[in-house]
Amino acid sequence: MNIKDLNFCVIGGGIGGLAAALALRQAGGKVTVLEQAAELTEVGAGLQISANGMCVLRALGVVGDVPARGQISYGTILRDYRAGRIISRVPPPEAGETYYYHRADLLGLLHDAARQAGVDIRLNAQVATVNKHPSEAEIVLRSGECLRTECAIAADGGRSAIRPILNGTETPVFTHQIAWRATVPVTQTSEKPCASLTMGPGRHVVTYPLREQSLMNVVAIEERSDWTEEGWRRRGDPEDLRARFADFGGPVGEILARVDEAHLWALFLRPVAQSWQNGRLALLGDAAHPTLPFMAQGACLALEDAWVLQRAFAEQSGIGSALAAYEAARRPRAVQVVAAAGANARKFHLRGPMRLAAQGVLSVVGPRLARKYDWIYDFDPTV
């Protein structure tokens, strides 16, 4: 299908939205991105892009053979919480290199590439609803403005305002887990930087370097029941963070001692959407398949979505057929990856004898652990 004369509106200017906009524009479409924020500011912290996401970034021309602004990973160290004792080391996946990015840096690369390709990015564009018509989609902004487009892509995140149009009202389920997020300036560097996963009863902490090892990204997960708020940008008290992880020693204890600003993110579960599209409107990224962060695949899945969506338009003969092919190709994989992330959540927080037994197993199988997830990292949607 030649999309040269088609108009697309992408709702959401995050990683998935910008990647989809760039892919569709490179295929010839006329693309507008509607971002609700009034300005593009440095938000969020770090994220990991494994080989299945990096291949999309390279295919889009966003990064080269040596990716700009990314920090290459040399694997993961598994540690016990008390003194940071090393349990095992997990080498990088054999599928290809993983890179650590500050979210703002990756968004900047995608934004610049999209702008240069001719994507129109509108800020302060808050979408109220999307109405389907026989030959177009009508996007209604909260300002009252109405936009007409032949295809709308909703990439507006896990709390998508557009998803209910296709799936009705859903009630998210609190996982009883809270994520603390922070970045800490560091000066010590390593020739082979890697992530560290420090596990304790009911809690774990993940750290990895960003921006040429000038920052350390911190994600500290704890089990809690005293929570009702779903938002992910609530400011937290660093002293409270330290108190809740006071018995975490070793390297991670030293990092937590230097946190001076932290945010809280309550982890809620929504299922992979039952319906992804209606012939004029389609979901992409977290709007379609919100996932827990325990496989570090949220951004990678969104990048995969963007490429497969563009390919569906290239291979199909109409918008409805293209969106149906996109959903059929992406939903089964999203279900599998989301399930794998959910399973890891339980493994990181074992208590008592089960925790000690698991550490014994990890000390033996750790060097081969990445192979268990080859089916995730080996996937290349661009071939």
- CA dist 268 and 176 (Å) reads 8
CATH 3.50.50.60 for domain 7-78+95-171+270-348+372-377: yes
- Which residues, at least 6 apart from 149, have a Cβ–Cβ distance to it below 8 Å? 7, 8, 9, 32, 136, 137, 139
| Six-digit token string for 151 | 């295809």
Where are the extended beta strands (E) located within the chain? 7-11, 30-34, 46-49, 71-72, 76-80, 86-90, 99-102, 120-122, 127-133, 136-141, 146-149, 151-154, 173-185, 195-200, 203-210, 215-223, 234-236, 262-269, 281-283
pLDDT given for residue 234 in this prediction: 84
pLDDT, tens digit, 9 for 90 and up, residues 213-229: 999 999 999 998 887 67
Are residues 13 and 154 in contact, defined by beta-carbon separation less than 8 angstroms? no
What are the angstrom distances between the C-alpha of 365 and each of 360, 370, 371? 9, 10, 10
Q: Where are the beta strands (DSSP E) in 256-336?
A: 262-269, 281-283
Q: What is the pLDDT of residue 68?
A: 85
Residue with tokens 């149009």: 165
Tokens describing residue 268: 């809620």
Let me know the angle formed at the C-alpha of 61 by 58 and 64, rounded to the nearest 5 degrees.
60
- pLDDT for 317: 92
pLDDT of residue 372: 82
pLDDT at 358: 67
CA diameter of the chain = 63
Closest CA to 2 of 283, 370, 250, 322: 322
pLDDT at 144: 96
pLDDT along the chain (383 residues), means of 10: 92 97 98 91 81 98 91 94 91 92 95 98 97 96 97 96 96 92 92 93 94 95 83 85 96 96 92 97 98 94 98 96 98 97 75 65 65 92 95
pLDDT tens digits for 281-311? 999 999 999 999 999 999 999 999 999 999 9
- The structural domains of the chain, with segments of one domain joined by +, span 7-78+95-171+270-348+372-377, 175-268
Q: pLDDT tens digits for 52-111?
A: 999 999 999 999 988 889 999 999 999 999 999 998 888 898 899 999 999 999 999 999
Residue 83 CB neighbour total at 10 angstroms: 12
pLDDT at 5: 84
For tokens 């650590």, the residue is 100
Distance, CA of 98 to CA of 96 (rounded, Å): 7
Q: What is the pLDDT of residue 361?
A: 66
The pLDDT value given to residue 123: 96
Classify domain 175-268 at the CATH topology level.
Answer: D-Amino Acid Oxidase; Chain A, domain 2 (3.30.9)
